[in-house]
Structure formats: structure tokens, C-alpha cells
Chains A and B, each alone.
Chain A
Amino acid sequence: MIRANGPGALLVIVPAFNEEGAIGPVVRSVKEAVPGVPVLVIDDCSGDSTVALATEAGAAILSLPHHLGLGGCLQAGYKLAYELGYEYVIRVDGDGQHDPRDIPRLLERLRQTDCEMVIGCRISGDGAWRTGWVRALGIWFFRLMLRPILGKPVRDPTSGFVGVNRRALDVFSHSFPLEYPEIETLVVLQRRRFRFEEIPCRMRPRLAGRSTLTARKSMYYLVHVLLGVFVNVLKYEHRGHRPPKP
């Protein structure tokens, strides 16, 4: 069972929706990379054998009663981690694209820098990541747009390989974007004057399935994220969540 074992405890969360082709190896490779660290698979009401295979591989399961989408699914995991007292949570995608051997580096950076979020950046480093030109153009556009909002450059704002600390967990338990959360999350944190860091990470091809972002959905994604970013920029936020001044 997953229970935070003392201060500084880490939980790895894996949001999954119909990932039976990859979830077993993903959970096993996380357990190999960080032995003793609990793995929580958040099942977004899969219709296949995702839950059975994840359980068999040794993961704890958080089963949502109906499909919520990626944001709702992730927030459920963050809420549980916060309630159970975890200090750090690292998200790994259920399709096998993230290399769990990078988890210790993400954790190390979270601990060393005390920043609220560390992003596993897919652009540089070993195992350089290749993507289609449309997506590359989209990422370039978002980098350009986020630069003045965040006050610093971000190389890979759409990466799902992300580690957060307890201060970010507290915020995410209350406020988390429900669709396409990666970019909006950065703005949510920035509004609280939280910090993020990026480290280059290896990427692997999907073990199974394909991206849910079709050409039509990409346009919807673009508009949705743009709107989400500007809503978050304009939103009035309570000052209670800002970190204390050093």
C-alpha cells in the first residue's frame, strides 16, 4: 500500500487510459529504476485490462468512477499524494515514452534547487527526441508566448515528464487545468511566483498506441491552451498560496 514513509517521500504517478499495451512494462521499469518507491497508476476508467496489468506489475491503483480526461486524472493523483503526506511526486506517462532511469535526476534537482517543479525536457540530451514539424512549430510558438509570461525561457513546455514538490501539490490540489494541463500548469505556478527548472531527458518511442492529437484536435488544442493561458494570467489569485519570503 502507498503511504509516505517519512519526510522527503517520493511517489511516482502514472495517468493511464487504455494503456494495456504499455502499462505493465512502464510500471516494472519505474520499479527497477527507483526500487522501493511506490507507483500509483491513476486509471481514467479504461475499458481494457490496464488495471489488471498495472496491479500485476506491482502498482497501486486509483480508479476514477468515470472518464475525467488527463487533467482531472492527474489532479486526483496529486490530491491523494498530498493527503498521504508525500513531499515529491513525479509523473511518468503510461505509454512508455519517458525513461524512468531519469527519475532520480529529476528528484535530485527538486531536492537540490527547492524549486516547485522540474520538467524533463525532451529537446536536448541523450536520445534526442524527434517530432513532426507541426508539433515542433506548436512548441516553438508556445515557447515564444510563454517567455514574457514566465519571465524566463522554457525549452519544452508540453513535456509530461514532470516532478513537483509539496508546495506545488498544495496548489494543484485546489487548482489544476482539466484539459491539456502541461502549459497552463506553468502559468498557474508562475502566478504564485513558484519556480521551475528543466533538465534534458531521454525519450523513447511509444510502446503502444498513438498520440491522441490529430490535426483537427491540434487546432482545438492551440485555441484551448491559448485561452487557458490568458485566463490564468488575468485570473485574480489569493495571496495565501504564495511562498513565504526567504
Chain B
Amino acid sequence: MDRLLHVTTGVSILLLAMVLTSLRRAHIRVEYSVTWLLASVAMLVLSLWRGLLDAVRNLLGLPDSPLALFLLGAAVLLLLAFRSSVVISHLRDNNIALAQRVAILEHRLRDLEEHEG
């Protein structure tokens, strides 16, 4: 069980490093990095602070502390995946509207050029 928590600590540190590096290189926007940062810090704290993890386990009524940790992790991932879908939907809508606008403007520009020529 301890080994599992050590692995979780390692994964949390790796995730934290990845998010910070991506932020520094501007590969991820700040508003999308906050959730990942919070999630990785929470995972790190829970994997290192056994007392807190046990309290969470008792709160959830689970038999096993690492199970509580992974359940929380899975819930956060689900929320993040849903949020990504919302963001993608907005982007797709905007992308379609932009593509239509580009096509219409091109059409009208061609019309103007033909008219003037």
C-alpha cells in the first residue's frame, strides 16, 4: 500500500512539473492549467499526508486509503474531461462561424473586385 502511495507521489510531482513547464513554454493557457495544478497538488498532499487521506477514506466510507485517493483522482479526471468537451464545443462553434464568415467575405470581396474590374 505504501508503495502505491509512493508511486502516486511520483506521478503527482511529474504532473506538477509537466503543467509548470507547459505553462512556462506557453503550451497551455493559464485558465486551463489551474485545475490541473490544483489536482496535482491535492494528489501530492494526500499521498504524503496519511492522516488526511485516512480522514477522507472514513468520510467516503471506503475500506482502503489508496482506493479513496484513486477514486478522487478518477472523479477529478471525469470533471476535467467534461470541461474539455465544453471548451471543444465552444471552439467548434466559433470555428464554424469563422469558416462561414471567411467564405462569405471572400465571396463578397471577389464580387467587389469583379464589379470594379
Which of B16-24, B46-54, B65-73, B107-115 contacts its partner?
B107-115
Please tell me if the beta carbons of A65 and B104 are within 8 angstroms of each other in the complex.
no
Nearest chain-B residue to A40 (Cβ)? B107
- Confirm or deny: A23 has a beta carbon within 8 angstroms of a beta carbon on chain B: no
The answer on a CB contact under 8 Å between B107 and A66 is no
CA A85 – CA B96 in complex, angstroms? 22
Residue of B nearest to A66 (CB): B99
A-B contact count (CB 8 A): 37
State the CA gap A244–B104 with chains docked (Å). Answer: 30
- A interface residue count range (under 10 / 10 to 19 / 20 to 34 / 35 or more): 10 to 19
Please tell me if B103 contacts chain A, counting CB pairs below 8 Å.
Answer: yes
**B43 CB, min distance to chain A CBs, angstroms:** 35
Q: How far is the CB of B99 from chain A (nearest CB, A)?
A: 5
Interface residues of B (CB under 8 A from A): 96, 99-100, 102-104, 106-107, 111, 114-115
Q: What are the 3 tightest A-B residue pairs by CB atom distance, in nearest-first order?
A: A76-B100, A72-B96, A64-B103
In the complex, which residues of chain A have a beta carbon less than 8 angstroms from the beta carbon of B104? 62, 76, 79-80, 83
Task: Check if A123 is an interface residue, CB within 8 A of chain B.
Answer: no
Is there contact, CB below 8 Å, between A72 and B111? no
Q: Which residue of A lies closest to B102 (CB)?
A: A65
Q: Contact mask A227-241 → B, CB, 8 Å, 1/0?
A: 000000000000000
Which residue numbers of A lie inside 8 Å of B, CB to CB?
1, 3, 60-66, 68, 72, 75-76, 79-80, 83, 178
Whole-angstrom distance from the CB of A121 to the nearest CB of chain B? 29
Interface centre among B102, B104, B107 (most CB of A within 10 A): B107
> Given B96, B106, B107, B115, which contacts A68 in the complex, CB threshold below 8 Å?
B96
Which residues of the other chain, A, contact B99 by a CB distance below 8 angstroms?
A: 64-66, 68, 72, 76
Hey, which chain A residues are within 8 Å of B114, CB to CB? 1
**Considering only CB atoms, which chain B residue lies closest to A75 in the complex?**
B100
Q: Which residues of A contact B111 (CB under 8 A)?
A: 1, 3
CB distance from B85 to the nearest CB of A (A): 14
B100 touching A79 by the CB < 8 A rule? yes
Q: Which residues of B contact A79 (CB under 8 A)?
A: 100, 104
